[in-house]
Amino acid sequence: MTGAIEEAVIYLQQRFGVPPRVGLILGSGLGRLVQKLKGPERVAFKDIPGFPRSSVQGHPGEIICGYLEGVPLYVQAGRVHYYEGMDMGQVAMPMRVMASLGIKNVIITNAAGAVNQSYSPGDLVCLSDHINFMGDNPLRGGADFVDLTRVYSSRLRKIAHDRARRLGITLHSGVYCAFAGPCYETPAEIRAVRVLGADLVGMSTVPEAITAASLGVEVLGISAVTNMAAGITGQRLSHEEVIQTSARASERFIKLVSATVAGLGGQE
């Protein structure tokens, strides 16, 4: 553990009673899940030593520990993004903290644009794989040749799909392509990544997922589709629309994530 991570870990261990078993990163507009936590204890990013701070609307920047479906859960409400000017080390730092706290399973969520034209705004997608078009890598600076053959755990995906089926919630399976942002993509970029196998586009998740893979943390990725990607409908894209649509998907999202956490609860 480097000094900054150790300091943050010690601070969080002192603030939170029970060691959390499962981690959850909440994407834009998905923060309502926090209201379902029993016995929540909250800490703002700004109070955690060395923790990066987000300035984006819809990302309040708090860690909340509490019980969901009887499982001690560590929720990171908000995240820092590469497009805010952070370097990859800062973007990946919260995931390193989670791993150092002993978390072995993490659910990473985001709001994403649909490249796949069979998806609609409001749909939920379980990530099967990703394409890193951010032009950077959180492991840069080391010689950590991490295998990413299975960065999104098939075990966790199976649990999520199984729970979705039982709840009658449609859960697609798709490939997420990450751009650096902060602008949205051009229609030509969307056509290009569709040819390359992308179903979704976004500006997050990939740095955290790569970092988790390097630390042996199993990852489940869930996207809430907030818009059709650029050029598909011809409509202009806006952050307000992204926040509003993910808030609309949030009821199904909360049900699915809660049931998945319950499914993970008894397991390490």
Active site residue 59: yes
Under rule CB under 6 A, residue 242 binds ligand HPA? yes
CB closer to ligand HPA out of 26 and 159: 26
User: Residue 227, interface with ligand HPA (CB under 6 A)?
Assistant: yes
CB of 107 to ligand HPA, least distance (A): 18
| 223 is annotated as an active-site residue | no
Closest residue to ligand HPA: CB criterion: 113
Among residues 88 and 111, whose Cβ is nearest to ligand HPA?
Answer: 111
Binding mask 63-102 for ligand HPA (x = CB under 6 A): ----------------------------------------
Among positions 185, 189, 208, 218, the unique one binding ligand HPA when judged by CB under 6 A = 185
Residue 237 is a binding residue for ligand HPA (CB under 6 A): yes
Check residue 203 for interaction with ligand HPA (CB under 6 A).
yes
- List the one residue from 20, 29, 113, 174 that touches ligand HPA (CB under 6 A): 113
Residues 247/226, Cβ–Cβ less than 8 Å: no
Using CB under 6 A as the binding rule, whether residue 189 contacts ligand HPA is answered as no
Q: Smallest distance, Å, CB 225 to ligand HPA?
A: 8
**Burial of 70 by CB count in 10 Å (0-12 exposed, 13-18 middle, 19+ buried)?**
exposed
Nearer to ligand HPA, 125 or 201 (CB): 201
Task: Please state the closest distance from residue 83 (CB atom) to ligand HPA, in A.
Answer: 10
- Spacing of C-alpha 29 from chain mean position: 12
- List phi, psi (to 5°) of 266: -80, 0
Residues marked active site are found at 28, 59, 81, 83-84, 111, 203-204, 227, 239
Which residues contact ligand HPA by CB under 6 A? 111-113, 184-185, 201-203, 226-227, 229, 237, 242
